[in-house]
Amino acid sequence: MKIVIGGDHAGYELKQKILAYLEEQGHEVNHVGSYTPEMVDFPDIAKKVCKALVDGEAERGIMVCGSGVGAAIACNKYPGIRASVVHDIYTAHQCVEHDNVQVMAIGGQIVGDVVARELIDVFLNAKFSDSEEFQKRVAKLEEMDAR
């Protein structure tokens, strides 16, 4: 799968481990920063992740910041993107199955690398439901993007 990954300084350490894991698993990874543990503002990185998704350069995105919350907020500001904080297995698949989420936001200060790998596997293997109720709801979300 084509994946775009980014994060800020608070998520740097976990992001580096995730990046190596994704490459080991054979995914095509577009790493958009940060490239050092120096301070960087997560909205700048989130914009790069979202642009890659909207432009069709990646199928899914992963953002890593301190809690995952700021990254999810920033990504959700980008039209056409749905992001969710993911710290548990259920949310990792449900956010894709029900809400067609493209970006998983993880807290580097919340989740360790072993749990992160499990969450990523579940997130990447999840498929958006073809159920009418979820299709209808996501269509309404897309209408909200057009405002």
Ordered DSSP codes for 46-75: HHHHHHHHHTTS-SEEEEEESSSHHHHHHH
Residues in the chain predicted with pLDDT less than 70, given as ranges, are none
**130, two tokens:** 């073809």
Q: What pLDDT score does 96 carry?
A: 98
Q: What pLDDT score does 147 carry?
A: 72
- Selecting among 50, 65, 75, 95, the annotated active-site residue is 65
Q: What pLDDT score does 93 carry?
A: 98
Q: What pLDDT score does 77 carry?
A: 96
Per residue in 13-44, pLDDT (tens digit) is: 999 999 999 999 999 999 999 999 999 999 99
**Angle, nearest 10°, between helix axes 42-54 and 69-76?**
50
Q: Is the peptide bond before 67 cis (omega within 30 degrees of 0)?
A: no
- Are the beta carbons of 120 and 21 closer than 8 angstroms? yes
Active site residue 50: no
Q: What pLDDT score does 146 carry?
A: 82
Q: What pLDDT score does 19 carry?
A: 97
Report the predicted TM-score, pTM, of the whole model to 2 decimal places. 0.95
Closest CA to 79 of 53, 56, 100, 98: 53
Q: What pLDDT score does 145 carry?
A: 86
Closest CA to 116 of 45, 35, 14, 31: 14
What pairs with residue 83 in β-bridges?
A: 103
Task: Report how far residue 51's alpha carbon sits from residue 139's, in angstroms, rounded to the nearest whole number.
Answer: 20
Q: What pLDDT score does 82 carry?
A: 98
